[in-house]
Chains A and B, each alone.
Chain A
Amino acid sequence: MVAPLLVLAVGNESRGDDALGPLLSRRLADWVAGTEMAVEVELIEEFQLQVENTLDLEDRKLALFIDAGNEPQSPFAFYQAVKQQMEGHTSHAVAPEALLGVYAMVHDEEPPPMFVLCVAGSAFELGEPLSPQARLNLEQAFDFACNLLQQPGLNSWQGLALSHAEDVEPAIVAALL
């Protein structure tokens, strides 16, 4: 049986703060293990999102995408990903919003709701460790993610997203509202 909640974390742990995604995912995996949530949540790590990750979204009720970001002012941003067509695809990798667009193209149905937890980083050089600020951000993001996993539901997550709206780009807030 497919777990209703998917946590999809991306990043390269050898590139400084890009490790935030995988590190947070592993913290969550340890935290979930042995609890009743274990059967409700599946955690997947990837270097980058790819088009075939749409297949990981099949039969999910809810998805959480975790990544490092270089723009948020706060320790982390949390918002609902708004499906975008994969126009102007600029990379071998795929943005979470575009992944939802690919899902709709491939499956001929709406994708499950996906939320983005973007943890702030500042240094992404190869071979660098996590920066001191990123370590602090990781702790706050972990506490927040635990809270999310304890109340998995579209309405509750949308409420939390709105409460973090000041951390998100205006265009995304507009789409949320």
Chain B
Amino acid sequence: MSDLETAEHPEQLRRVAIDTVSRVEGHGKVTILLDDDNKVHQVRLHIVEFRGFEKFIQGRPYWEVPVMVQRLCGICPVSHHLAAAKAMDMVIGAEHLTPAAEKNRRLMHYGQILQSHALHFFYLCSPDLLFGFDSDVARRNIVGVAAQYPEIAKKGVLLRKFGQEVIRMTAGKRIHGTGAIPGGVNKSLSREERDALLADVYHMLSWSLEAVHLVRKLFEQNLETYNAFGRFRAHQVSLVRADGAMDLYHGGLRARSMDGDILFDHFDYRHYWEVIFEDVKSWSYMKFPFLRSLGPEKGWYQVGPLTRVTNCDFIPTPLADKERQEFLAFDEGRTTGATLGFHWARMIEMLHAVESIKDLLHDDDIMGDDLLVSGERAGRGVGVIEAPRGTLIHHYRVDKDELVIRANLIVATTHNNQPMNEAIRQVAIQYLNGNEITEGLLNHIEVAIRAFDPCLSCATHALGKMPLEVELLDAEGALVSRLAKTADGALSA
């Protein structure tokens, strides 16, 4: 853990706060404590947790939960939908779903992975990557990208639309879908729906492959900067299939140490609390999960695309696996430990998602009509899934009246709380230390956070929110100056 978590004499330092980290959902804030020479003494990412989620779910009938949890998050509702459905499978004793049910759920999940990763790459991070982290802010935006790379914006929209269509057809509706229910699904894909998706899937495959190659090219052009940027070492946790393959829908938990050793493998996630625990810190609303065996100080870990691509033994689709092999071998493996390696891994996963969609569309089980199973009831349900941003855990207790009496959710952004803090501390040391703070330098902090694609409390939105505020305060906490970053990216006093 970095020494920059807590400064020795914070009262003697100048404080820089970046409120609402731009291009990140919800309310994120970074505070940086500097001395008179602009030397960095403390860096913290503060995030408002998904407050009230567990309480919101308590008292609801178990069968209602997979639908209502979609309202927790407007960005990846399908991930919550499926994690809750998996937990409720356990509650109703549905240990093995029918092939039609599992494949339709997987199809829905890959649609979610595709649309989420496409948005992040084509719209959220491409301006930083294509123009540079401290390039002219007037140019560092998707308009600038579209001007120079006109196909990027269009492909981003069409990839997302395809993913949304997969979700709509498997979930039944654009939003508030009901596709996954305890014990299976309530609909399978019709032949017409399958054919409609098949008509477009090869374009998506081609564009996804191009995106992987684009990220590789960016790494080749900026090798030293990208590999060193915000670099830190972390333990890794993800689901893997029984044979060690990447599996974003189901598997056992694998933890790998920062030295590459397996800490535990194929651990039954239905007992996740035996290996993962959640710590709290006084300065953050968000919990800090850690591996029990290593303790809170040394046991923090990373999840998400970069972890999944490096933690599995192989990817079970050929194009993505080939790209994974090239990624692992690139620059003698150094990129696998780079914070910006998230972008490359994310595109490999997007390619895997499209390949998986194609394969499922060619599988007649996807149109099957044997959709539900059930078994012996249980009072506890745990569902774990690899959501776009990382491992998502849903844990419920259900009483004999079929009501949820306890819920615990650990979302990917919570797992990545400490890794994001580590990344921005490294960036602060690398770029801010001793320098006058400029918009371009502050953007470096945001670039590091955006690599994780965090999704905060994102289901509420309202017109009129200010995207970014920076406050400079003296040692007593008095406001010295204030900057606001407006919707057009300009700084104003």
Measured CB to CB, the residues of A under 8 A from B are 10-15, 18, 44-48, 50-52, 54-55, 67-71, 84-93, 95, 101-102, 105-106, 116, 118, 121, 124-127, 169
Chain B contacts with A in 390-407, Cβ cutoff 8 A: none
A46-B175, A84-B488, A126-B53 are contacts. A67–B142 as well, Cβ < 8 Å? no
Once bound together, how far apart are the Cα atoms of A85 and B490, in whole Å?
13
Indicate the member of B72, B146, B461, B488 with the most A CB atoms within 10 Å.
Answer: B461
Q: Report whether A88 and B153 are in contact in the complex, using a CB–CB cutoff of 8 Å.
A: no
Q: Report whether B143 and A85 are in contact in the complex, using a CB–CB cutoff of 8 Å.
A: yes
Does B62 sit at the interface, judged by CB under 8 A? no
List, in ascending order, chain A residues with CB within 8 A of B74's CB.
12, 47-48, 92-93
Q: Report whether A55 and B143 are in contact in the complex, using a CB–CB cutoff of 8 Å.
A: no
Chain B nearest CB from A140 CB (Å) reads 18
Q: Report whether A91 and B25 are in contact in the complex, using a CB–CB cutoff of 8 Å.
A: yes
Q: Report whether A15 and B487 are in contact in the complex, using a CB–CB cutoff of 8 Å.
A: no
Chain B nearest CB from A167 CB (Å) reads 12
Given contacts A87-B142, A126-B53, 9 further A-B contacts (CB under 8 A): A47-B459, A48-B74, A51-B160, A52-B158, A91-B461, A95-B487, A106-B153, A127-B55, A169-B464
Once bound together, how far apart are the Cα atoms of A84 and B77, in whole Å?
28
Q: Report whether B52 and A127 are in contact in the complex, using a CB–CB cutoff of 8 Å.
A: yes
Chain A nearest CB from B411 CB (Å) reads 14
Chain B nearest CB from A15 CB (Å) reads 5
Measured CB to CB, the residues of B under 8 A from A are 20, 22-25, 51-53, 55-56, 68, 71-72, 74-75, 77, 115, 119, 123-124, 137-138, 141-143, 146, 153-154, 156-158, 160-161, 164, 174-175, 455, 458-464, 467-468, 485-490
Q: Report whether A69 and B459 are in contact in the complex, using a CB–CB cutoff of 8 Å.
A: no
In-complex Cβ contact of A14 among B56, B153, B461 (8 A): B56
Q: Report whether B459 and A15 are in contact in the complex, using a CB–CB cutoff of 8 Å.
A: yes
Once bound together, how far apart are the Cα atoms of A55 and B24, in whole Å?
24
List, in ascending order, chain B residues with CB within 8 A of A12's CB.
71, 74, 459-460
List, in ascending order, chain A residues with CB within 8 A of B138's CB.
87
Chain A nearest CB from B131 CB (Å) reads 12
Which are the 4 A-B pairs with shortest beta-carbon distances?
A: A47-B74, A88-B489, A90-B467, A14-B71
List, in ascending order, chain A residues with CB within 8 A of B143's CB.
85-87, 101, 105
Q: Report whether A69 and B462 are in contact in the complex, using a CB–CB cutoff of 8 Å.
A: yes
A91-B25, A121-B462, A125-B52 are contacts. A52–B164 as well, Cβ < 8 Å? yes
Q: Report whether B460 and A18 are in contact in the complex, using a CB–CB cutoff of 8 Å.
A: yes
Q: Report whether A70 and B464 are in contact in the complex, using a CB–CB cutoff of 8 Å.
A: yes
Q: Report whether B71 and A15 are in contact in the complex, using a CB–CB cutoff of 8 Å.
A: yes
Chain A nearest CB from B45 CB (Å) reads 16
Q: Report whether A18 and B488 are in contact in the complex, using a CB–CB cutoff of 8 Å.
A: no
Q: Report whether B52 and A52 are in contact in the complex, using a CB–CB cutoff of 8 Å.
A: no
Chain A nearest CB from B409 CB (Å) reads 12
List, in ascending order, chain A residues with CB within 8 A of B458's CB.
48, 91-93
Q: Report whether B161 and A89 are in contact in the complex, using a CB–CB cutoff of 8 Å.
A: no
Once bound together, how far apart are the Cα atoms of A116 and B463, in whole Å?
10
List, in ascending order, chain A residues with CB within 8 A of B20's CB.
90
In-complex Cβ contact of B71 among A13, A68, A71, A88 (8 A): A13
Q: Report whether A51 and B71 are in contact in the complex, using a CB–CB cutoff of 8 Å.
A: no
Chain B nearest CB from A126 CB (Å) reads 5
A55-B157, A106-B153 are contacts. A46–B174 as well, Cβ < 8 Å? yes
Chain B nearest CB from A71 CB (Å) reads 4
Closest to B458 in A: A92
List, in ascending order, chain A residues with CB within 8 A of B115's CB.
52
Indicate the member of A12, A54, A106 with the most B CB atoms within 10 Å.
Answer: A12
Q: Report whether B461 and A48 are in contact in the complex, using a CB–CB cutoff of 8 Å.
A: yes
Once bound together, how far apart are the Cα atoms of A118 and B115, in whole Å?
28
Once bound together, how far apart are the Cα atoms of A106 and B152, in whole Å?
9
Chain B nearest CB from A141 CB (Å) reads 14
Q: Report whether A47 and B175 are in contact in the complex, using a CB–CB cutoff of 8 Å.
A: yes
Would you mind naming 17 contact pairs between A and B with Cβ atoms under 8 Å apart?
A48-B458, A54-B157, A70-B462, A84-B487, A85-B141, A87-B141, A88-B467, A88-B489, A90-B24, A91-B25, A92-B124, A101-B143, A102-B157, A116-B463, A126-B52, A126-B56, A127-B52
Q: Report whether B460 and A124 are in contact in the complex, using a CB–CB cutoff of 8 Å.
A: yes
List, in ascending order, chain A residues with CB within 8 A of B161's CB.
52, 55
List, in ascending order, chain B residues with CB within 8 A of A95's CB.
463, 487
In-complex Cβ contact of B485 among A18, A69, A88 (8 A): A88
List, in ascending order, chain B residues with CB within 8 A of A18's CB.
459-462
Once bound together, how far apart are the Cα atoms of A55 and B467, in whole Å?
26
Once bound together, how far apart are the Cα atoms of A10 and B154, in whole Å?
23
Q: Report whether B153 and A45 are in contact in the complex, using a CB–CB cutoff of 8 Å.
A: no
Chain B nearest CB from A117 CB (Å) reads 11
Closest to B446 in A: A90
List, in ascending order, chain B residues with CB within 8 A of A91's CB.
23-25, 458, 461, 467
Closest to A93 in B: B461
Closest to B71 in A: A14
Q: Report whether A50 and B160 are in contact in the complex, using a CB–CB cutoff of 8 Å.
A: yes
Chain A nearest CB from B342 CB (Å) reads 16
Q: Report whether B75 and A92 are in contact in the complex, using a CB–CB cutoff of 8 Å.
A: yes
Q: Report whether B463 and A69 are in contact in the complex, using a CB–CB cutoff of 8 Å.
A: yes
Q: Report whether A52 and B157 are in contact in the complex, using a CB–CB cutoff of 8 Å.
A: yes
Indicate the member of B77, B142, B156, B489 with the most A CB atoms within 10 Å.
Answer: B142
Chain A nearest CB from B446 CB (Å) reads 10
List, in ascending order, chain B residues with CB within 8 A of A69's CB.
462-464
List, in ascending order, chain B residues with CB within 8 A of A106's CB.
153-154, 157
Closest to A107 in B: B154
A45-B175, A86-B141 are contacts. A118–B488 as well, Cβ < 8 Å? no
Once bound together, how far apart are the Cα atoms of A34 and B158, in whole Å?
34
List, in ascending order, chain A residues with CB within 8 A of B123's CB.
51, 86, 89
Closest to B162 in A: A52
Once bound together, how far apart are the Cα atoms of A91 and B138, in whole Å?
18
Q: Report whether A87 and B488 are in contact in the complex, using a CB–CB cutoff of 8 Å.
A: yes
A45-B175, A87-B143 are contacts. A10–B489 as well, Cβ < 8 Å? no
